[in-house]
Amino acid sequence: MLGDLASCWDEIDKMLAVQFGEIQGSFGRNKIVLEHKYKKIKMMRELEGYVSRRTLKFIYDELKRSKTFSFEKEDCSCVEKTSYRLPCACIIAMKSKQNLPLVLDDIYPHWKRLSVQGEEIDDDFSVVEEWNDIQERLKTSP
């Protein structure tokens, strides 16, 4: 990208607006579009529409893995629990054995965030005043 700071800033602003729109769209899809394979799993029903699709995939993979080993914690390594703060295979196996569903409290808050909450978008936002101050400082500096 070549040009003065103002033209570069405009291009960056356009790119960020597009990216923000894509993120908002992704959040919306996570709330309303549910994959068929997760609908069949009773254990995951309470999570549908409340966590990201990526979260459901992590949990689904761990659920499949939980069926391949015994209920011993030593068999697990708990990577999902330590890396992503999501239920790992041994926790899923334990809940499955007790016929308990996964609940939202089992999920770390990061994975439940499906909106840009608490952040209001001000359509009148401008940095013109700050930009003018910077220009004045540049004019007066040696």
**Residue 34: what pLDDT?**
64
Q: Global pTM? A: 0.57
pLDDT 10s digits, 75-124? 677 877 878 889 988 888 888 889 999 998 998 887 877 655 545 555 56
Q: Answer for the pair 89, 66: CB distance below 8 angstroms, yes or no.
A: yes
Q: At what angle are helices 89-97 and 53-66 packed, to 10 degrees?
A: 70
